[in-house]
Amino acid sequence: MEWIRAFVRRYPWGALGAAVLFLIFGDLTASILWEMLSGVGAYFALMITLVVLISSMIILYDLRHSLLRIYANPQIGCSERYQGVLLFLSEPSIGRIPIVSIEIGDNKVSLNYRINGKENTKEIDLDSNIKNFIERISQDSTLRMWNWLPAFQGLAAHASRLKYIAVLCSEETQDFQDQIRHLLSVLFSKSNIEIIEKLNFFDVNSIREGLGKAVRKGLQLGLRKRDLVIDVTGGTKLASIGGVIYGVEEGVDIQYVQTKDPSVLICYNIFPRLLDVPS
């Protein structure tokens, strides 16, 4: 029943209320008929009661299925385009090799790293097109291992509507916050960029606190919770778990970039967002 699914998406509270009212109305109608009629009429009332109960079960089953399909099941590629993305960034590295420094010029990004004490540099042409930037990285077998690449891929999916980016930095990543802000300001010149620093990616409470600050900033910018998504690809596994827990509790959607080649963006619409009445 597509019309039920469409109704649930547009009016979730109304759909739940309608289902409850339908049950109450059917029960009252059957009870009144049962009292008023006797003999053959009583059997007629019994038949009406059974029809109402069966219809109610069918509608409630489809309502449940629609709610789960819309608000809980993962969507490949993210059908929605969010206006705010909250993401984790760990200390930059190429594979297991730490990046020593990042230099950003007018039209070039330089990643400097050491292998066996020898200085190495990888350069990437830079312009304001995020898709071109990702493509240049992906064409280089070494740069493809840059651990920030999934963050860029997660942002690119929402580039057309993106107004707010919150970067949650670990204690190690904060040394690169100026480069992060500079790079994102070039790639997303129309977006507000917020750096949430000095988070402990091995402490769920620290993660929750950082996400709380990021969400509050988004709300101050006029966005609603339904306009935000938490990208749990970066950071540590514990940071990702903390991000999912926060999203479930606060009704903020989740996304994850599957890093196997080819990369795939997966979005999870969190069911508790039904409780987020103001949004």
pLDDT surpasses 70 at 277: no
- With bands split at pLDDT 50, 70 and 90, how would you rate the model's confidence at 24? confident
pLDDT digits (tens, 9 = 90+) for 91-125: 999 988 999 999 998 899 999 999 888 999 999 99
> Looking at residue 279, what is its pLDDT?
43
The tens digit of pLDDT for each residue in 224-250 reads: 998 999 999 998 888 998 998 898 888
pLDDT classification of 47: cutoffs 50, 70, 90: confident
Distance, CA of 250 to CA of 117 (rounded, Å): 47
Structure pTM? Answer: 0.72
Three-class secondary structure of residue 136 per DSSP: helix
- Per-residue model confidence (pLDDT) at position 74: 62
The per-residue b/e assignment along 256-265, b for 16 or more CB within 10 angstroms, e otherwise, is: bbeeeeebeb
If DSSP states are collapsed to H, E and C, what string results for the chain?
A: CHHHHHHHHHCHHHHHHHHHHHHHHHHHHHHHHHHHCCCHHHHHHHHHHHHHHHHHHHHHHHHHHHHHHHHCCEEECCCCCCCEEEEEECCCEECCEEEEEEEECCCEEEEEEEECCEEEEEEEECCCCHHHHHHHHHCCCCHHHECCHHHHHHHHCCCCCCCEEEEEEECCHHHHHHHHHHHHHHHCCCCEEEEEEEECCCCHHHHHHHHHHHHHHHHHCCCCHHHEEEECCCCCHHHHHHHHHHHHHHCCEEEEEECCCCCEEEEECCHHHHHCCCC
Residue range 62-78: mean pLDDT, rounded: 59
Q: What single-letter amino acid sits at 234?
A: G
Q: Which residue has the higher pLDDT, 191 or 9?
A: 191
Give the mean pLDDT of 126-143.
92
Q: Residue 2 — very low, low, confident or very high, per pLDDT cuts 50/70/90?
A: low
Write the DSSP symbol of residue 157.
T
- Segment 169-186, tens digit of pLDDT: 998 898 899 999 999 999
Q: Look at residue 151 in the predicted model and tell me its pLDDT.
A: 94
Top-confidence residue, 9 or 209: 209
**Arithmetic mean of pLDDT over the chain:** 82
Q: pLDDT tier at 267 (50, 70, 90 boundaries)?
A: confident
Residue 185 CA neighbour count, 13 Å, CB half: 12
Nearest-angstrom CA–CA distance, 81 and 132 = 19
pLDDT category, 4, cuts 50, 70, 90? Answer: low
